[in-house]
Amino acid sequence: MNNNDLVAKLWKMCDTLRDGGVSYQNYVNELATLLFLKMTEQTGTETDLLPQGMRWNDLKGKIGLDQLQFYRNMLVQLGNDDHAIVRAIFQNVNTTITNAGQLTELVTTMDSLDWYESGDDENIVKTRDDFGDMYEGLLQKNANETKSGAGQYFTPRPLIETMVRLLKPQPREIIQDPAAGTAGFLIEADKYIKSQTNDLDDLDDDTQEFQMKRAFVGLELVPETRRLALMNCLLHDIEGNDELGGAIRLGNSLGNDGENLSKANVILTNPPFGSASSTNITRTFVYPTSNKQLCFMQHIYNSLEPGGRAAVVIPDNVLFEGGRGAEIRTDLMHKCNLHTILRLPTGIFYAAGVKTNVLFFQKGTPENPHQDKDCTTNTWVYDLRTNMQTFGKRSPFTHKYLESFEAVYGDDANGQAKREEGVYNILGCTTPVNDEDIKNTDSSELIENARWRKFSREFIKAKNDSLDITWLKDNSVTDAANLPEPDVLATQAMTELTEALREMNQLMIDLGASDQAEGQVALLAEEFGLEKKVIEGAE
């Protein structure tokens, strides 16, 4: 049975969980635990990972209340296991299953699935990577389940793949994700390296060991998410440092944990961009701000080794926010060569109105990796947002929409391939440029309709170092037929209002009106039934 069929059957098991009163938020946690136990049995890794008496067949051999009680005890025992990564995966894990018959049905169903891939001559037992792919399929299913809210900012797989392909991670490079989530970026980077090295077989033993133990480092704030990430990594043969509890560490990148991360050669990440202001910011940044997205940016470009490279998903406000935001962008362009910005279309995330971008940059310059002043001279911008179709469940965002961007980005990981302005008609564009116009219009005039353009550092300085660079006329503003769905429009409006309120709140604090700002926040909290939040900077 192929992986897609297995994922569908595994997800159908959620019906059993739902009927037993398990919430959407706990679906994947329960299935992931059982899948992990089954994987170790199926791939013959039980003896390396799990103690005797605490394995799949031990669980399967029980029935009724004995099985449920054994399962609960099993989770406790594994949470105190000698194996550091297993201990980290199962620490403080409790099952939400209360119906013994429900657990028996899940175990029986999972055990009876066809875990083989049909080959030319015989059935082939699935590998750890196969189970890893199935596990990621479950995570994707959960992210797409709007009722769960779990995938609110789940990075689309095609975007992750493109970011990894363009940065071209190499063996023996330290690859970091300071907002690891379920480890999608690290897993994809590992897949890319394996695809370039014959599944690591072309590497010497020491380098293979490096790839499994030291190459990938992630930091995740939420324990349950970190647990899912650890399983994901282990299923893909990424073990990480045993003493640190695996490749994904539990901690806060905007606190001491982030400061203690080693420098990286490659950073691939999508920092959280829900509520901009956060009390999780406990470390001292050169440019202090309550905007956690701007703090993540400082962490990222200061955590790169000289010559290191990064691709980061960020919301629009990071591009244009004034004050500290402008200072941070200036510092970024001094210390790094910000060579490429990809403006992403709306609707590719669960929160449909969120407007996002990907920044691609290198620490220093290609000529001098240790340069820390005036590293950015030109920035190329690719507009994949203006006059593009609306994406969502009915029109999913796939890799084919990124192919034209990958082509113009070029083969150089640091954006140094030969580039020419242009690109007019791309897949998903709602206002194509007439081919005759492209042939007959003066190039300087035609370039105003191009999606791929270069902007000098001087041009950006004149905009107070704002990177919110737009030039295409947005026809959806005047053409009702091209307007997004009402829910998308409403989400966009709410997102922009929230950002405006946050900026006003920060302005009041900067002006010394912290008490008034706190009063306004309390009023909003009361209006929306939210817990009152303490204002940073207020006495």
Q: Which two tokens stand for residue 249?
A: 């560490």
**Superfamily (CATH H level) for 3-142:** N6 adenine-specific DNA methyltransferase, N-terminal domain (1.20.1260.30)
CA atoms of 38 and 42, how far apart (whole Å)? 6
Q: What is the pLDDT of residues 411-450, one digit of tens each?
A: 999 999 999 999 988 998 888 887 777 777 777 778 888 9
Residue 151 has pLDDT above 70, yes or no: no
Q: Which two tokens stand for residue 348?
A: 């590719």
Residue 8's pLDDT is 80
Residue 88's pLDDT is 86
The model's confidence at residue 125, banded by pLDDT at 50, 70 and 90, is: low
CA atoms of 183 and 97, how far apart (whole Å)? 26
Mean pLDDT of 467-483: 74
The model's confidence at residue 138, banded by pLDDT at 50, 70 and 90, is: confident
Q: What is the pLDDT of residues 486-505, one digit of tens each?
A: 766 676 677 667 767 776 77
> What is the amino acid identity at position 499?
E
179-218 in b/e form (b: 16+ CB < 10 A) is: bbbbbbbbbbbbbbbbeebeebeebeeeebebbbeebbbb
Percent of the chain's residues with pLDDT above 70: 84
Give the three-class secondary structure for 429.
Answer: strand
Mean pLDDT of 139-167: 74
The model's confidence at residue 117, banded by pLDDT at 50, 70 and 90, is: low
The DSSP code for 115 is -
Residue 59 has pLDDT above 50, yes or no: yes
Triad 141, 143, 145: Cα angle to 5°: 70
- Which of 215, 182, 185 is closest to 200 using CA atoms? 215
Hey, how many other C-beta atoms are within 10 angstroms of the C-beta on 431?
17
Do 150 and 185 meet the contact criterion of CB atoms below 8 Å apart?
no
The model's confidence at residue 94, banded by pLDDT at 50, 70 and 90, is: confident
Q: Which two tokens stand for residue 74?
A: 């099993």
Rounded CA Rg of the chain: 25
Residue 150's pLDDT is 42
Q: What is the pLDDT of residues 239-274, one digit of tens each?
A: 888 777 789 999 999 999 999 999 999 999 999 875
Do 454 and 402 meet the contact criterion of CB atoms below 8 Å apart?
no
Do 328 and 294 meet the contact criterion of CB atoms below 8 Å apart?
yes
**Superfamily (CATH H level) for 152-467+476-482:** Vaccinia Virus protein VP39 (3.40.50.150)
Instruction: Indicate the pTM of the whole model.
Output: 0.83
